[in-house]
């Protein structure tokens, strides 16, 4: 099966089955193909800047006053233990956050709001989760751990 032609199991208007009810999720910008569903990995802004400098391919990145949120394919927590310095949001549902800040706004997002800080030049909204995982582990000073039974 070709994932580029597979329908999105969690379309823009839908909700990831593991996402908390009533919690808004990050919306993939129009024009990007999010056919794999999407989750988000939150890092500190300091780690976010380092990651942005190191990864060769970066998808959509959102930010609020406390975290940078990296869009990854749905299920990127399966089999890995994300570092405790990160936050994993199934369905990209960010508890305690409101929807995106108004389009075109510059500077920090208003309290409780997220804003898109990086839109990829390519048509995929995803940051590859494996390089992101290894880099977050390195920045956290821990050894990457994975197994079929581990859930991050």
Does residue 119 lie within any of the structural domains? yes
What is the structure's pLDDT at 14? 43
Does residue 49 lie within any of the structural domains? yes
Does residue 112 lie within any of the structural domains? yes
The model's pLDDT over 29-87, given as tens digits with 9 standing for 90+, comes to 988 987 889 999 999 999 999 999 999 999 999 999 999 999 999 999 999 999 999 99
Does residue 95 lie within any of the structural domains? yes
**Structural domains counted in the chain:** 1
The model's pLDDT over 115-151, given as tens digits with 9 standing for 90+, comes to 999 999 988 999 999 999 999 999 999 999 987 665 5
Query: Can you tell me which residue has the tokens 């309290």?
Result: 111
Does residue 14 lie within any of the structural domains? no
What is the structure's pLDDT at 141? 97
Q: Which domain holds residue 40?
A: 23-143
- Is the overall model pTM greater than 0.95, yes or no? no
Does residue 120 lie within any of the structural domains? yes
């Amino acid at each position: 099966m070709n994932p580029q032609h597979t329908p999105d199991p969690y379309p823009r208007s839908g909700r990831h089955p593991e996402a908390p009810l009533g919690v808004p999720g990050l919306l993939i910008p129009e024009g990007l193909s999010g056919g794999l569903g999407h989750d988000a990995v939150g890092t500190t802004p300091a780690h976010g800047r380092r990651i942005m400098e190191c990864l060769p391919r970066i998808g959509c990145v959102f930010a609020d006053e406390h975290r940078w949120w990296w869009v990854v394919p749905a299920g990127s927590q399966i089999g890995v233990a994300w570092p405790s310095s990160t936050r994993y949001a199934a369905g990209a549902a960010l508890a305690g956050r409101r929807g995106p800040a108004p389009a075109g706004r510059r500077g920090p997002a208003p309290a409780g709001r997220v804003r898109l800080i990086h839109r990829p030049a390519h048509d995929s909204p995803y940051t590859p989760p494996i390089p992101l995982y290894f880099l977050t582990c390195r920045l956290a000073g821990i050894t990457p751990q994975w197994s079929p039974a581990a859930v991050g």
